[in-house]
Amino acid sequence: MKVTLTFDNGPTAPVTAQVLDVLARHRIRSTFFVVGENLKQAENRAVAERAAAEGHWIGNHTLTHTVQFGDTDDPRVPEREIGEAQRLIGELAHPDRLFRPYGGGGVLDRRLLSPAAVAYLQQNAFTTVLWNSVPHDWDDPDGWTERCLADVATRDWSLVVLHDLPTGAMDHLPRFLAGLHTLDADIVQDFPPHCVPLHRGRLEHSIGHLLPC
């Protein structure tokens, strides 16, 4: 059983630093999908730099985390939400230009992408990373660990979405990692191929179910 850990919506300096401390103790490397606007604060930028220096990958999770591409017809949105965030990430970016779209509630549905967003991602050689395990740590900060452990036990390779936000959820990260150890899970940094529909701009899997009708 493999498990890939990813952290969305940060960086938020104190919490992201707490996560990095825990991951370092366990010698685990992960990916942080950052919200571009958060990097405008010096302390958040510094903790993102620390993450990259410690071998974690830095990905793009849009500029504002407020717009699902399938909910807008504005052709300027992909450049603003993807392009501007990537410029803020700058030299911290993974060579594959990792991108994770904003999906409300972690739902993979027809609001996730748009033809304009896909065209932008292809033209600019982004790698789109989705997910298959969302334990809702943001709205159940104390109960997410058991839910996630039960979920990852159901498949060969889980890509888990957690959030380095000040909800208290990451206080339970050590307990979650201990549970993964009990399950004899192999925690890896790579992504399961079925969660990567676009690789460096090349379409790898059908995404029709993620586009508006």
The residues annotated as belonging to the active site are 8, 163
According to DSSP, the β-strands at 186-188 and 31-34 are unpaired
CA distance linking residue 187 with residue 5, whole number of Å: 7
CB-based contact 162:8 (threshold 8 Å): yes
CA distance linking residue 157 with residue 139, whole number of Å: 24
Q: What is the DSSP string of 6-21?
A: EEES---HHHHHHHHH
What is the longest distance spanned by two Cα atoms in the chain? 48
Among 58, 22, 20, 67, CA closest to 39: 58
Among 1, 15, 95, CA closest to 48: 15
